[in-house]
Amino acid sequence: MCMVIFAPIFAICAFATCGGYYGRVQVKVDCADRRDSNRSINIGFSYPFRLEEVHFKAPLCESKRDEVLFLEGDFSSATRFFLTVGVFAFLYSLLATVVYVFYQNKYLRNNRGPLVDFLVTLVFSFMWLVSSCCWAKALSDIKSATNPTEILLLISACRAPENRCTATQEPRWSRLNSSVVFGFVNVALWVGNIWFVFKETGWYKTGRRYPTRSASGKRSSEMRQRLYSESSF
């Protein structure tokens, strides 16, 4: 029941906080020997974080033209993998909720429902673990690639000691940090649900059946031995 209630909620939280993100970095270049000083450069990036396609123009202090620079890294694979797992987990958990509530008898018939649910729960537990780890690593790399200090190193004018370059705005990471947390919450939720789903399968019921019979058999044999010993006296 815990799975039915919380799985759709945390799945939504995971992919909603990841998808649709937009971040912006702003740096300022002040050329020492140029009239066009204190120039602000705005660099925006968003989901799915193909940073190598994000370009911006920076002034060349020794001339009147600009240079075109690109950020580094393509993190779309890890991001889309995480988002896809979240969407499919949400859809399956909704389907499972409908089945648990309205089709409980059909779910338990022939033990097919619990077995399918158990296998799917194993798959989603593994997928959540892998996708959350990949997304956490990708987010760490995104933060490094969009670090204003790293961006200033890309600008030729900022490598000259006579010019002054500063970062005036950094991205806000609270939303993406929350998506990583929600990802691992989903891992704990799905892994914890494995035991409860396994209890509904025939494997668990079969394993519980034999110890009960053996215990009753031992009690009956002890009773026969006791009656035999009393009758012999």
Cα atoms in the Cβ-side hemisphere of radius 13 Å centred on 55:
6
36 band by pLDDT with thresholds 50, 70 and 90: low
Report pTM.
0.80
Predicted pLDDT at 44: 95
Q: How far is CA 216 from the centre of its chain?
A: 49
| Residue 212 located in a structural domain | no
Lowest mean pLDDT, pick from 23-27, 177-181, 197-201, 222-226: 222-226
| Residue 146 located in a structural domain | yes
- What is the residue type of 80? R
Q: Which residues does 186 contact at the CB level (< 8 Å), separation at least 6? A: 7, 10, 11, 14, 86, 89, 128, 132
User: Which contacts of 168-171 are long-range, i.e. CB under 8 A and separated by 24 or more positions?
Assistant: 168/26, 168/27, 168/28, 168/40, 169/24, 169/25, 169/26, 170/25, 171/23, 171/24, 171/25, 171/45, 171/143, 171/146
Tally of domains in the chain: 1
| Residue 231 located in a structural domain | no
| Residue 225 located in a structural domain | no
- What range does the domain containing 187 cover? 2-200
| Residue 151 located in a structural domain | yes
Predicted pLDDT at 210: 47
Give yes or no for residue 162 having a pLDDT over 50: yes
Q: Angle at the Cα of 166 (from 160 to 169), degrees rounded to 5? A: 150
| Residue 32 located in a structural domain | yes
Predicted pLDDT at 109: 73
Cα atoms in the Cβ-side hemisphere of radius 13 Å centred on 21:
28
Report the alpha-carbon distance of residue 192 to residue 3 in Å, rounded.
9
Give me the chain's average pLDDT, please: 84
Predicted pLDDT at 18: 93
| Residue 215 located in a structural domain | no
How many angstroms separate the Cα of 97 from the Cα of each of 83, 104, 183, 225? 21, 10, 20, 53
| Residue 222 located in a structural domain | no
32 band by pLDDT with thresholds 50, 70 and 90: confident
Give yes or no for residue 105 having a pLDDT over 90: no
**DSSP β-bridge partners for residue 41:** 27
Give yes or no for residue 185 having a pLDDT over 90: yes
